[in-house]
Amino acid sequence: MAETRFPSGEFFISGLRVSPPTVLAPLAGVTCLPFRKMVKSMGCGLVYTEMISARALVFESEKTWKMMEIHRAERPVAVQIFGAEPDIMAEAAARVQDSGADMVDINFGCSVRKVVKTGAGVALMREPELAEQVLKAVRNVLRIPLTIKLRTGWDPSGQQAFRIAELAEYCGVDALAFHPRTAQQRFGGRANRILIGDMKKRITIPLIGNGDIDSAEDALSMLRETGCDGVMIGRAAMAHPGIFEDTARLLTGQANPNRSSDRHFDMIGRFVDEMIDHHGEAIACMLLRSRLCFLVKGLPGAVDFRKRLSHVTTRNQVADLLLDFRTAVKARESESILS
């Protein structure tokens, strides 16, 4: 596709400013409070929580309420909920609003079987009448912005997505995020960015493009090629939170920073502390066995680090392992400079 414009450095969702125009995607099991704070420190404009069950929220699941904890350092923050019962969705949205969230998002894109079989997620895209009931019920209880995140639908044409998007705008939704893959694709194949450009021409509310962004240059390309107002980044942020800082700099014509290993390990260290403070030592250490694998991807000695990481159970073990790894990486950097 031809380039159509130079992207803006911000956009607004019903008065809520998103600057820079970068958004952290909701990632199940990943975008907890410590991860969101880390990404926000890298300059992300808007962060989303993990997908939260509306029923669990309404029926007072302690684990679910923990997932919805918000810190002032991460604002603006959107809480994403899923479900297919209009009254339950409305009650959950009201509770999200009362908790202090800046925005409520409804998931129309999750294709995981256990979600789809309840009629939620991407299943709602096959039920426009029910989708309308859900959207109207939720919009009716909210004072804060309401958004949705959707996929292409159940066929690659995009017609289901266009229909739901136009319905959403009619129901008072303030913006939408569009991941142009079908339900069957999950995360396979390639996202069809042409459909993002087509979607932008059909709606007047802000559009956030999502899918396969793996670099700042790619984020800028999506903004330019599709005309979308913002870019949502998910999987790439798991290994490279600095992608948000790089994108913000690229948008303003600045060179990418010299991201030293010391700076990267300092960021990891803060993330580890936040994880343990938030989840508790035992749970955090189990979660860190996978989270840190992404954050060290590509570093020399990462394979051995990951093997040793799989056995950590305490804060001190994680700290010692990171110190050893950091020292080894620094030593290799020195050898490279001298050679």
pLDDT at 1: 39
Do 195 and 166 share a structural domain?
yes
87-127, pLDDT tens digit by residue? 999 999 999 999 999 999 999 999 999 999 999 999 999 99
Output the six-digit token pair for 129. Answer: 């009448």
Do 266 and 244 share a structural domain?
no
**CATH no. for residue 279?**
1.10.1200.80
Q: How far is Cα 245 from Cα 294, in angstroms, rounded to an integer?
A: 18
For 70, how many CA atoms within 13 A lie in the half-sphere containing its CB? 20
pLDDT at 333: 77
Do 173 and 92 share a structural domain?
yes
Kindly compute the dihedral angle of the four CA atoms of residues 83, 86, 92, 94, in this order, to the nearest 10 degrees. Answer: 150
Q: How far is Cα 18 from Cα 338, in angstroms, rounded to an integer?
A: 44
Q: Which of 5-9, 96-100, 241-245 has the lowest mean pLDDT?
A: 5-9
Residue 68 dihedral angles phi and psi, to the nearest 5°: -100, 10
CB 246 within 8 A of CB 215: yes
* Residue whose pair of structure tokens reads 């912005």 in the numeric block: 145
Using alpha carbons, select from 325, 272, 333 the residue that is nearest to residue 296.
325
pLDDT at 149: 97
Active site residues: 110
pLDDT at 283: 96
In a domain, 149, yes or no: yes
Output the six-digit token pair for 221. Answer: 């390309």
Output the six-digit token pair for 323. Answer: 């110190």
Helix (H, G, I), strand (E, B) or coil at 187: coil
Q: DSSP states of 254-318 as a string? A: PPPP---HHHHHHHHHHHHHHHHHHH-HHHHHHHHHHHHHHHTTTSTTHHHHHHHHTT--SHHHH
Domain of 298? 261-330
Do 236 and 324 share a structural domain?
no
Residue 183 clears pLDDT 80, i.e. is over it: no
Strand partners, 47: 24, 77
Helix (H, G, I), strand (E, B) or coil at 124: helix
Output the six-digit token pair for 115. Answer: 């979600």
CB 211 within 8 A of CB 181: yes
Do 273 and 172 share a structural domain?
no
Amino acid at 54: A
Q: Residue 1: how many CB atoms within 10 A of its CB?
A: 12
In a domain, 256, yes or no: no
Do 296 and 242 share a structural domain?
no
How many residues in total does the chain contain? 339
Q: Residue 275: how many CB atoms within 10 A of its CB?
A: 25
195-220, pLDDT tens digit by residue? 999 999 999 999 999 999 999 999 99
**CATH no. for residue 219?**
3.20.20.70
Do 204 and 161 share a structural domain?
yes
Q: How far is Cα 235 from Cα 27, in angstroms, rounded to an integer?
A: 8
Structural domains counted in the chain: 2
pLDDT at 2: 39
Q: How far is Cα 160 from Cα 153, in angstroms, rounded to an integer?
A: 6
Domain end (from 205, 233, 251): 251
316-329, pLDDT tens digit by residue? 999 999 999 999 99
Q: How far is Cα 46 from Cα 32, in angstroms, rounded to an integer?
A: 14
Do 265 and 247 share a structural domain?
no
Helix (H, G, I), strand (E, B) or coil at 106: strand
Do 185 and 286 share a structural domain?
no
Do 195 and 75 share a structural domain?
yes
Q: How far is CA 186 from the centre of its chain?
A: 16
Is it true that the peptide bond before 20 is cis, omega within 30 degrees of 0? yes
Do 181 and 228 share a structural domain?
yes
What mean pLDDT value characterizes the chain? 92
Residues of the chain with pLDDT > 70: what percent? 95
